[in-house]
């Protein structure tokens, strides 16, 4: 059979080949406007993978059938299809794509053509928000230049990233950016409640030109999110996306088991000769043999209380459509997340975390007439949270602060059917009902139910006024936002027991005695409600017109905001917060070459005294598109885009911290007093100042300079780089600590605007886009952000004697601690060294510190600023997407650098002598058998030893990391796409005890999560 097929192929194939007459085509491809040859143009035989590209001079050669059609494509130019018709030479002229020229970017209070923008604005493709992450804020870093973000926890409902635009520039007021959804301010929580499926565009405004129109709200940058609108399709399109996730901790803590714990405890007691009773050899041996889990408990509290994995689900459906007059977009999303906390089957309630979010977006727009259009956008978010009545962090603390051997989770449950009858393990001597809390009982003692609803309604309209002036239009926006919160907590007490002198009876039962007093075992109920509402009004006049090669535009805008609490608890909170503002913008460009823009914001706030309530915030920018000059034509085949821009301006920040009306005095009429009388039984009190007035208090101001350069190469690469410098002044601080008490200010807040910070750095992005043929395409983007701040003026003592303590001259968040050299070799070295007065007895194996001021004593005056800030100064990312036929693959590598933190709160045995011991401490600590002066942990102490636990370089860690933040592989078939994706898949870091993105501490908190996601997308039309 094989021979027959081979013979058939040898005979038949040549006839088939000769039956397809081919022809070799040559030609040159040039740009229509300049006649410049275009290198790298794709020429593909339609319907095949047969293709080629033009060389440096725009020439190409391709062999195709004489009746074929070739497809010619080039980024930034309109694609052409050309019939060969037996021609051997075909020269082609490509026209610039009008859509590319007219590409617009969302900016403050409007849109601008991308080529005309002179401010520092970054954008992000909405598709990159569709990662396996559970919220939007965690998808920003690495995808957007200028964004610095870290995710400190993976706890469902609280796993949003903290993000900043170009770092941090203030140490007192709000540091987070202004977030706008369809032009209206929202919170970070509102942002993370959105579904990526509803988002049309994401823009980040970074410099003064981009943000000055927001006045007192723009100093920290602006993130603008717009939602999708209707489309004029032949018939409605329905999109669905369903996915299911499994999440596991990026790291889990490892504790020493009960046997090692007792040995380490005995070692610690012996080290310090403190005289505590040691664990007996029988106790250690019985635990090692596992004789009786109630007499010899060996509880791994972490394993008993937390699961290995959790499971999440999400489903979304979008409907998009419309006609010539009306368009609509509707979306509904259900997201369900569960936590890692274990349930107790005997309870009638579930104490694990469960978060359900329902998000609805309904947008409709209508063209009422050729000159009039209106739009309504309604966003609704419903959030249900269920979890334990004890705080989640408290549960993690309990798992660490309770050792494995002092008591079991509970005593036998054989005859118990009611959870109220459980005899939880305990130990006399603590501060909670005469004993120590039982972590498992704390986990399962009750539950919390929380419901939150957010409704944001926008109504906007536009009326063209060409009958008055060509290009003039009136626009208006009215929005209302309402947030409501209801919380129910149900919790009960629990009784703890310990073994008495004769722990076990002859019949095998355990002899127990109650620890402390009997507790109320019924489920108590606590409720609470809160909420707020925000009204926003924004009318504006806009002008856009082109006169030949001259383009001009203008904007005049008024806005007014009122914010009120729904259920105020006092006079001050019952008063609505009000702001008013004016904004303006004027732009001019000549032939897309010479660009100019001026902006201003003029804002007022009732939170400041008369004379300080209004501020003017101007900015100006110029741009020069060098690549559009005639003399640049010969270089455009290599450098297709070259643009220089410079901006300078002033913006403000009125979110300065403190209470309402900080310029007023606050007097407590029933303040501190005195007692008198013969028998000291008569008390008098009088008015006391809680806060002194300062009518000069006002907002922070930021003067910003930005120099930007945009370069496009070979129509494939696009580089955008910005250098920036910011001077933040009038930072709001409490100066009472530096006012001598003889002035009578002790215990009284005194506020003033006197802080100053300098923030400067660089951010850039490099994009690559290459269509190799009809079947294969690659896009890639690299981003880099460096933001370094420096405290110039702060409220602190002169520190003339101890300048090492000053925060001035260091970044915000720089750590203060002792400089550790190593561990002491022996007592002789301790005796010959400066006296260390940090607490505890110091001996060989303890940490040796440097005497900074040389006075022979180590105390708090010897601390120095060390390491890098706790918020990273560098964030970078590399995202890549590849498309081959029906397959697609994408990934994001993202990392941070120049960040540090202290590890603390983990020290063995703790302040009460009960804390568990982490395995890495057990494995490498200073001891008689391991006298290593560079051991990972010093000599053990039974109680917290101040010399050991003090923050120092011994506990300073580098928080840098590089992560495979996300990855996805998908396959499309007709109108379906199947995909598998992941989040936090790999990590590379010097620190390996827990995910360094969580920051400092003990590592015992809800861990960040590795997520694996499986889903399907469907389209119906």
Gap between the Cα atoms of 243 and 131, Å rounded: 11
DSSP H or E segment with residue 734: strand 717-734
842 three-state secondary structure:
coil
Q: Residue 1: its pLDDT value, please?
A: 44
The pair of three-digit structure tokens given for residue 796, joined into one six-digit string: 């602190």
Segments in the chain below pLDDT 70: 1-20, 33-34, 49, 75-76, 96-102, 658, 671-674, 676-679, 944
* In contact, 992 and 962? CB cutoff 8 Å: no
Strand partners, 372: 369, 463
Running DSSP on this structure, what letter comes out for residue 66?
A: T
Running DSSP on this structure, what letter comes out for residue 253?
A: -
Strand duo 222-227 + 178-181: pairing:
parallel
> Going by C-beta distance under 8 Å and a sequence separation of 6 or more, which residues neighbour residue 694?
662, 663, 750, 751, 752
Gap between the Cα atoms of 585 and 597, Å rounded: 7
The pair of three-digit structure tokens given for residue 226, joined into one six-digit string: 């717009």
Q: Residue 671: its pLDDT value, please?
A: 66
Q: Residue 19: its pLDDT value, please?
A: 44
Distance of alpha carbon 965 from the chain centroid: 13
C-alpha separations of 555 from 371, 541, 559, 1015 in Å? 19, 6, 13, 45
The pair of three-digit structure tokens given for residue 1008, joined into one six-digit string: 């960040």
| The residue to which tokens 């650098």 are assigned | 897
**Which among 916, 1004, 907, 919 has a CA at the least distance from the CA of 947?**
907
Q: Residue 773: its pLDDT value, please?
A: 82
Q: Residue 376: its pLDDT value, please?
A: 97
819-824-827 Cα angle (round to 5):
135
Gap between the Cα atoms of 483 and 503, Å rounded: 56
Q: CB 988: neighbour CB atoms within 10 A? A: 11
The pair of three-digit structure tokens given for residue 160, joined into one six-digit string: 């949003």
**Which among 543, 600, 649, 552 has a CA at the least distance from the CA of 120?**
649
* In contact, 654 and 185? CB cutoff 8 Å: no
Q: What is the DSSP string of 373-420?
A: EEEEEEEEEEEEEEEESS-HHHHHHHHHHS-SSS--SBS--TT--SGG
| The residue to which tokens 């997201």 are assigned | 335
> Going by C-beta distance under 8 Å and a sequence separation of 6 or more, which residues neighbour residue 17?
none
Gap between the Cα atoms of 525 and 449, Å rounded: 11
Q: Residue 10: its pLDDT value, please?
A: 39
Whole-structure pTM value: 0.88
* In contact, 909 and 943? CB cutoff 8 Å: yes
* b/e per residue 515-545 (b: at least 16 CB within 10 A): beeeeeeebeeeeeeebbbbbbebebebbee
Q: Residue 603: its pLDDT value, please?
A: 93
592 three-state secondary structure:
coil
Domains and CATH numbers, the chain: 19-96 (2.60.40.1120), 239-257+298-528 (no CATH), 666-694 (no CATH)
Q: CB 681: neighbour CB atoms within 10 A? A: 8
716 three-state secondary structure:
coil
**Which among 807, 805, 704 has a CA at the least distance from the CA of 758?**
704
* In contact, 699 and 652? CB cutoff 8 Å: yes
Running DSSP on this structure, what letter comes out for residue 945?
A: -
Q: Residue 8: its pLDDT value, please?
A: 40
Phi, psi of 993 (to 5 degrees): -80, -35
* In contact, 914 and 403? CB cutoff 8 Å: yes
Phi, psi of 116 (to 5 degrees): -95, -5
C-alpha separations of 13 from 5, 50, 67, 235 in Å? 12, 19, 20, 47
Gap between the Cα atoms of 210 and 129, Å rounded: 23
The pair of three-digit structure tokens given for residue 10, joined into one six-digit string: 């040898």
Gap between the Cα atoms of 482 and 530, Å rounded: 11
| The residue to which tokens 């626009």 are assigned | 475
78 three-state secondary structure:
coil
């Amino acid at each position: 059979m094989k021979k027959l097929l081979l013979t058939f192929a040898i005979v038949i194939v040549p006839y088939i080949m000769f039956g397809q007459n081919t022809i070799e085509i040559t030609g040159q491809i040039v740009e229509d406007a300049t006649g410049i040859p275009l290198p790298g143009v794709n020429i593909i035989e339609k319907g095949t993978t047969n293709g080629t590209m033009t060389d440096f001079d725009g020439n190409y050669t391709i062999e195709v059938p004489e009746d074929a059609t070739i497809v010619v494509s080039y980024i930034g130019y309109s694609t052409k299809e050309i019939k060969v018709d037996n021609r051997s030479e075909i020269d082609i002229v490509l026209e610039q794509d009008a859509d590319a020229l007219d590409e617009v970017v969302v900016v403050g209070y409007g849109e601008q053509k991308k080529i005309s923008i002179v401010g520092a604005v970054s954008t992000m493709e909405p598709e990159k928000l569709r990662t396996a992450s559970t919220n939007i804020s965690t998808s920003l870093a690495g995808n957007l230049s200028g964004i610095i973000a870290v995710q400190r926890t993976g706890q469902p409902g609280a796993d949003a990233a903290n993000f900043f635009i170009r770092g941090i520039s203030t140490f007192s007021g709000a540091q987070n950016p202004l977030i706008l959804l369809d032009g209206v301010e929202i919170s970070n929580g509102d942002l993370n409640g959105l579904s990526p499926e509803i988002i049309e565009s994401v823009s980040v405004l970074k410099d003064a030109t981009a943000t000055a129109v927001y006045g007192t709200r723009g100093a920290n940058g602006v993130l603008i999110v717009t939602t999708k609108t209707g489309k004029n399709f032949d018939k409605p399109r329905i999109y669905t996306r369903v996915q299911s996730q499994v999440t596991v901790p990026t790291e889990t803590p490892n504790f020493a088991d009960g046997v090692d714990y007792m040995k380490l405890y005995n070692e610690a007691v012996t080290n310090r000769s403190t005289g505590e009773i040691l664990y007996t050899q029988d106790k250690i041996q019985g635990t090692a043999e596992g004789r009786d889990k109630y007499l010899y408990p060996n509880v791994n509290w972490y394993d008993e209380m937390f699961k290995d994995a959790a499971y999440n689900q999400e489903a979304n459906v979008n409907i998009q459509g419309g006609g010539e007059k009306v368009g609509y977009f509707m979306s509904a999303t259900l997201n369900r997340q569960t936590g890692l906390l274990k349930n107790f089957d005997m309870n009638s309630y579930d104490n694990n975390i469960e978060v359900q979010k329902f998000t609805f977006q309904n947008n409709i727009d209508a063209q009422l007439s050729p000159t009039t259009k209106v739009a309504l956008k309604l966003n609704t978010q419903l959030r249900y949270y269920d979890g334990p009545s004890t705080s989640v962090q408290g549960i993690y603390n309990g798992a660490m602060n309770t050792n494995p051997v002092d008591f079991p989770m509970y005593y036998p449950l054989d005859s118990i059917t009611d959870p109220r009858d459980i005899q939880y393990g305990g130990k006399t001597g603590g501060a909670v009902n005469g004993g120590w809390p039982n972590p498992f009982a704390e986990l399962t003692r009750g539950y919390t139910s929380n419901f939150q609803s957010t409704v944001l309604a926008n109504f906007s309209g536009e009326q063209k006024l060409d009958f008055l002036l060509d290009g003039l239009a009136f626009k208006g926006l009215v929005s209302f936002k309402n947030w409501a919160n209801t919380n129910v907590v149900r919790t009960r007490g629990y009784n703890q027991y310990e073994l008495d002198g004769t722990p076990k009876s002859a019949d095998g039962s355990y002899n127990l005695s109650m620890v402390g007093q009997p507790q109320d075992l019924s489920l108590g109920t606590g409720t609470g409600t809160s909420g707020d509402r925000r009204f926003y009004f924004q009318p504006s006049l806009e002008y856009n017109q082109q006169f030949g090669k001259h383009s001009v535009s203008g904007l005049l805008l008024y806005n007014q905001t009122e914010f009120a609490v729904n259920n105020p608890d006092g006079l001050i909170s019952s008063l609505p917060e009000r702001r008013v503002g004016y904004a303006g913008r004027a732009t001019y460009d000549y032939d897309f070459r010479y660009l100019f823009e001026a902006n201003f914001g003029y804002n007022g706030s009732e939170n400041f005294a008369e004379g300080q309530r209004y501020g003017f915030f101007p900015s100006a920018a110029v741009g020069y598109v060098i690549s559009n000059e005639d003399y640049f034509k010969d270089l455009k085949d290599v450098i297709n885009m070259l643009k220089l821009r410079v901006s300078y301006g002033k913006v403000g920040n009125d979110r300065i911290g403190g209470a309402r009306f900080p310029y007023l005095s606050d007097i407590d009429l029933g303040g501190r007093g005195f007692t008198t009388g013969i028998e000291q039984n008569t008390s008098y009190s009088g008015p006391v100042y809680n806060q002194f007035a300062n009518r000069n208090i006002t907002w922070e101001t930021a003067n910003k300079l930005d120099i930007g350069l945009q370069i496009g190469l070979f129509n494939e690469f696009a580089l955008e780089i910005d250098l920036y410098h910011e001077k933040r002044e009038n930072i709001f601080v409490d100066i009472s600590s530096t006012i001598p008490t003889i002035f009578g200010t002790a215990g009284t807040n005194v506020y003033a605007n006197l802080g100053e910070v300098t923030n400067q750095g660089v951010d850039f992005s490099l994009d690559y886009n290459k269509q190799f043929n009809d079947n294969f395409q690659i896009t890639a983007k690299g981003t880099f952000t460096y933001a370094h701040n420096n405290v110039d003026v702060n409220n602190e003592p002169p520190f003339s004697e101890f300048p090492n303590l000053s925060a001035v001259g260091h970044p915000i968040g720089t750590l203060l601690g002792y400089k550790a050299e190593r561990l002491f070799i022996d007592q002789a070295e301790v005796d010959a060294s400066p006296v260390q007065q940090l607490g505890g007895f110091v001996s060989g194996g303890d940490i040796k510190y440097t005497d900074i001021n040389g006075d022979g004593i180590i105390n708090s005056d010897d601390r120095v600023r060390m390491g890098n800030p706790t918020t990273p100064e560098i964030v970078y990312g590399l995202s890549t997407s590849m498309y081959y036929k029906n397959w697609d693959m994408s990934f994001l590598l993202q990392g941070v650098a120049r960040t540090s933190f202290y590890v603390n709160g983990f020290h063995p045995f703790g302040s009460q002598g009960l804390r568990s011991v982490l395995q890495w401490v057990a494995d490498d600590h200073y001891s008689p058998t391991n006298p290593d002066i560079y051991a990972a942990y010093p000599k053990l102490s039974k109680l917290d030893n101040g010399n050991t636990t003090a923050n120092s370089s011994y506990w300073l860690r580098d928080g840098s990391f590089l992560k495979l933040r996300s990855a996805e592989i998908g396959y499309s078939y007709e109108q379906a796409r199947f995909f598998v994706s992941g989040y936090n898949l790999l990590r590379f870091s010097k620190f390996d005890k827990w995910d360094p993105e969580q920051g400092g501490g003990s590592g015992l908190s809800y861990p960040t999560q590795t997520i694996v996601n499986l889903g399907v997308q469907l389209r119906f039309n």
